[in-house]
């Protein structure tokens, strides 16, 4: 018998329950395949396409060149593959995003009609969305009690890495190989991290050895290499969070516990999206449904290009364009600036982030935006408006992060980089002046809040 493992957000060989299930079901041949859906590919943006392409190349190495690359609508392509090789079962890691869940239901239906078994094993999370319940059996709506229940629920140990696999490569689709080649050769790509499972584990070991101890404080400092930078690998399932949690199990320091909490945030947002699929692109909470927002104009283009005249905002937006990544603290600052200073509805900013972030995860990204905008679960109150100057001075006290990404301000030392308008030489190198007055826009944001809340 032949079985198929269809990879999606699980591009790894270690700690992969669906892979083990597919191997055990294969009495002869195992086909490991990835399907590039042209609709998703077209909407991903060049940076995300390049990161996926690089990761697929590395995944092929992990599977000893046994990864089959296909192109097309999965409802057709997976069935065609199963029919061509005579597969009796198709194995997947259970998908939990609204789009992924709908797609899988459709693929499972066409396979069932053809007599091919559909088998879901595991999820991209330590605890699958929908499995943590409150005392009344419903979902949690606030993070802190969720995190406590999530820890209490627990998770299994990492699955063993299979050494020998009966892999069969059945030939790549020319459109898939061409798409990967073109993605990696796209112009103006940022410098991407090393892709693949080995690179992810190497980065994890480096972080644990050098930055984990101070993570609780350093994770908020964008000018310090204090974060793990594992989010791009977690996004594509190159490493499973259960693997990280196992390594942290014996760590008692504050840094390790804070890291576990950050994993819990990722799982919380996935759980929120599972229970509220519409919250992917609409407000989760109703109280601000009547809020007045401005239509995008030249100001949002200044935000996108990092030319707002507010140094910490511009540094973050330029880092995003240069690396396909942005420090999490700065993500909050830039999101607040768009929603509160420019009065733009959060999905516009969320989409821009997803277009450029190599770790762009719809649950974490879009609910993080809602947290800032005041419309989501555990939301920061709308009246909390991040001051880009004080945020910069607090979390980038020496101005190193700003000077790194805004070379027009490299001549300003220390905190002066956060307020060039206060320095006689602040605009000597053509840094743009502020597009809005923060104090005025804060008042306007609160005025609009009063209109909908009374």
> 């990835």: which residue's tokens?
34
Q: What is the pLDDT of residue 252?
A: 83
Coil, helix or strand for 28?
Answer: coil
**DSSP bridge partners of 290:** none
> What CATH number should be reported for the domain whose range is 125-154+196-275?
1.25.40.80
Q: What is the pLDDT of residue 238?
A: 98
The DSSP 8-state label assigned to residue 30 in this structure reads E
Return the ∠ at Cα 286 (arms to 282 and 287), rounded to 5°.
130
The DSSP 8-state label assigned to residue 428 in this structure reads T
pLDDT digits (tens, 9 = 90+) for 286-333: 778 788 899 888 999 999 999 999 999 999 999 999 999 999 999 999
Q: What is the pLDDT of residue 378?
A: 66
The phi, psi pair for 323, rounded to 5°, reads -120, -10
Q: What is the pLDDT of residue 413?
A: 96
Q: What is the pLDDT of residue 453?
A: 79
- 143-153 and 254-275 are packed helices; what angle lies between their axes, rounded to 10 degrees? 100
> What CATH number should be reported for the domain whose range is 298-453?
1.10.579.10
Tell how strand 29-36 and strand 67-71 pair up: parallel
> 């859906």: which residue's tokens?
37
Predicted TM-score (pTM) of the model is 0.95
- Contact, 62 vs 99, CB < 8 A? no
CATH topology for 2-122? Rossmann fold (3.40.50)
Q: What is the pLDDT of residue 45?
A: 85
- Contact, 69 vs 172, CB < 8 A? yes
pLDDT digits (tens, 9 = 90+) for 339-375: 999 999 999 999 999 999 999 999 999 999 999 998 8
Q: Domain map of the chain by residue range?
A: 2-122, 125-154+196-275, 298-453
Residue among 160, 172, 116, 163 at smallest CA distance from 2: 116
Where the chain has pLDDT below 50, the residues are: none
């Amino acid at each position: 018998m032949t079985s198929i493992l269809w990879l999606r957000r699980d591009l790894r060989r270690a700690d992969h329950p669906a892979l083990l299930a597919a191997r055990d079901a294969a009495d002869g041949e195992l086909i490991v395949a990835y399907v590039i859906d042209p609709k998703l590919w077209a909407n991903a943006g060049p940076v995300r396409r390049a990161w996926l392409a690089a990761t697929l190349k590395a995944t092929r190495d992990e599977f000893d060149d046994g990864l089959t690359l296909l192109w097309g609508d999965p409802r057709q392509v997976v069935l065609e593959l199963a029919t061509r090789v005579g597969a009796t079962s198709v194995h997947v890691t259970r998908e939990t995003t609204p789009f992924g869940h709908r797609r899988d239901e459709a693929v499972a239906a066409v396979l069932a009609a053809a007599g091919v078994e559909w088998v879901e094993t595991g999820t991209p999370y330590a605890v699958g969305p929908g499995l943590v319940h409150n005392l009344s059996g419903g979902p949690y709506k606030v993070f802190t009690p969720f995190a406590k229940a999530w820890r209490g629920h627990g998770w299994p140990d990492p699955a063993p890495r299979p050494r020998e696999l009966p892999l069969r490569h059945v030939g790549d689709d020319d459109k898939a190989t061409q798409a990967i080649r073109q993605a990696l050769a796209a112009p103006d790509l940022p410098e991407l991290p090393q892709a693949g499972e080995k690179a992810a584990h190497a980065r994890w070991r480096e972080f644990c050895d050098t930055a984990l101890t101070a993570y609780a404080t350093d994770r908020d400092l964008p000018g310090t290499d204090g974060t793990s930078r594992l989010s791009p690998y977690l996004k594509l399932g190159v490493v499973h969070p259960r693997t990280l949690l196992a390594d942290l199990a014996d760590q008692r320091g504050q840094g390790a516990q804070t890291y576990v909490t950050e994993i819990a945030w990722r799982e919380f947002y996935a759980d929120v999206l599972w229970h509220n699929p519409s919250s992917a692109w609409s407000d989760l909470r109703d109280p601000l449904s009547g809020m007045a927002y401005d239509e995008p104009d030249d100001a949002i283009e200044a935000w996108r290009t990092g030319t707002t005249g507010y140094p910490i905002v511009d540094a973050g937006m330029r880092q995003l364009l240069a690396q396909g990544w942005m420090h999490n603290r700065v993500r909050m600052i830039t999101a607040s600036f768009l929603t509160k200073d420019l009065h733009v509805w959060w999905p516009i900013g969320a989409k821009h982030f997803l277009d450029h972030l190599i770790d762009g995860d719809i649950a974490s990204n879009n609910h993080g935006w809602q947290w800032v905008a005041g419309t989501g679960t555990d939301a920061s109150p709308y009246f909390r408006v991040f001051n880009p100057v004080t945020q910069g001075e607090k979390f980038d006290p020496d101005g190193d992060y700003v000077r790194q990404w805004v070379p027009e301000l490299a001549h300003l030392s220390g905190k002066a980089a956060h307020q060039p308008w206060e320095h006689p030489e602040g605009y000597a190198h053509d840094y743009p002046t502020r597009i809005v007055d923060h104090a005025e826009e804060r008042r306007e944001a609160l005025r609009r809040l009063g209109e909908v809340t009374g």
